[in-house]
Amino acid sequence: GSTIGMLGAGQLGRMTALAAARLGYKTHVFAPDAAGSPAAQVSASATVADWNDLGALERFARSVDVVTLEWENVPVATVEHLRRFTGVHPGPNLLSVAQDRIAEKSFVNGLGIATAPWRPANDAGEVARAAAEIGPRCVLKSTRLGYDGKGQARLDEGSDPAAAWSAIGGGKPGVAGIVEGFVTFACEVSVIVARGADGAMVAYPAVENRHKDGILDVTIAPAQVSAATAAEADRIARRIAEALDLVGVLAVEMFVTPDGAVLVNEMAPRPHNSGHWTMDACATCQFEQLVRAVCGLPLGSVERLADAEMTNLIGDDVDRWPDLLAEPGVRLHLYGKAEARPGRKMGHVNRLLPRR
């Protein structure tokens, strides 16, 4: 049988490994924190090593048939090294765009696709200037490594730019900033695209995402937006996937403004939390699509068999799991994490609803 190499050891790697197993593939996880991890628990093998351990990377690459990832911040140099020995999808060019908010927004704007207005800002003075140009309401973000709303500070009339700059780690080595105009959105949507090496492409319908404390709380599938808005979100996600020559799965997060305009927020070149509903409601889930795309198999049908609502179990929410199991029509997914720290994604539930 064939083996998929997985960079990163979290729940996305776990659910990919489970989908891979169904198709007869083994998974070998590589991550500094792989020991006992959600992904390693369900994989055939795991390597615990640093991203810059060249020897361990070579042994890993030689032991698998193809490499993919569940965390887009794997250093590009790691991927470049692995590529000497085996195929890695998505590749380094795509990763370098997706790892940096400035590269990402420049790329998207270069395709003629709109984002919130933005400016790079690398000290308190530049934050103040950017806020004066595009504010007063804006969001200062670190350009790299943010997730779940971490590394962000909101700015408004009378905010202290220096406080915001230091709140996101400004001044620390390697920390750069971007100021984005605050979007008063009607809703947030995302589209997940899968694309094979032959250019074949499928996309799930746009879904609506509601956040709580910067963390995804609920995904509603499909999004309750106009057909025109859904079509525009689909067009944008496909255009980006094609322009990046994606092989794998890509999620594009977007804002829908009150007048129906669609602005790209960010993207993730991997399965995405807002695609977890596909596990129970679609003919083929996003994790299986990743396996198919990187292994050169035909992509699966994205047919929606039911509407769905996905709710994340964050921190202590997971304590309710026996009650959730008892609820008819609820599909429970737990990630095998021992410690329910606040803000930590422990699992999710999918509720299936009749198709509208």
At 42 the three-state DSSP class reads helix
1 annotated to a ligand binding site:
no
Q: Given candidates 32, 117, 146, 296, which one binds ligand ATP under the rule CB under 6 A? A: 146
Q: Given candidates 70, 72, 100, 180, which one binds ligand ATP under the rule CB under 6 A? A: 180
Chosen from ligand ATP, Mg ion, none, partner binding at 160 (C-beta under 5 to 8 Å by type):
none
Of the two residues 215 and 299, which places its CB atom closer to Mg ion in the complex? 215
- Closest distance between Mg ion and the C-beta of residue 73, in Å? 10
Give the distance between the most distant pair of CA atoms in the chain: 62
| Tokens 């997985």 -> residue | 6
Q: Are 343 and 258 in contact (CB under 8 A)?
A: no
Q: Are 25 and 6 in contact (CB under 8 A)?
A: no
> What is the C-alpha separation between 279 and 4, in angstroms, rounded?
20
Q: How far is CA 296 from each of CA 248, 262, 271, 300, 327, rounded to the nearest angstrom?
A: 10, 32, 17, 12, 39
- Closest distance between Mg ion and the C-beta of residue 282, in Å? 22
Q: How far is CA 190 from each of CA 115, 174, 206, 231, rounded to the nearest angstrom?
A: 14, 30, 6, 12
204 annotated to a ligand binding site:
no
Q: Which amino acid is at 58?
A: E
Q: Given candidates 65, 266, 307, 309, which one binds ligand ATP under the rule CB under 6 A? A: 266
Of the two residues 51 and 182, which places its CB atom closer to ligand ATP in the complex? 182
72 annotated to a ligand binding site:
no
> What is the C-alpha separation between 56 and 59, in angstroms, rounded?
5
Interacting residues of 173 by C-beta distance below 8 A, sequence separation 6+: none
Of the two residues 61 and 116, which places its CB atom closer to ligand ATP in the complex? 116
213 belongs to the binding site for ligand ATP (CB under 6 A)? no
Q: Given candidates 147, 163, 245, 303, which one binds ligand ATP under the rule CB under 6 A? A: 147
Query: Site map for Mg ion, 246-285, x if CB under 5 A?
Result: -------x------------x-------------------
105 annotated to a ligand binding site:
no
212 belongs to the binding site for ligand ATP (CB under 6 A)? no
Point out which residues bind ligand ATP (CB under 6 A): 116, 139, 146-150, 180, 182-183, 188, 211, 214, 253, 265-266
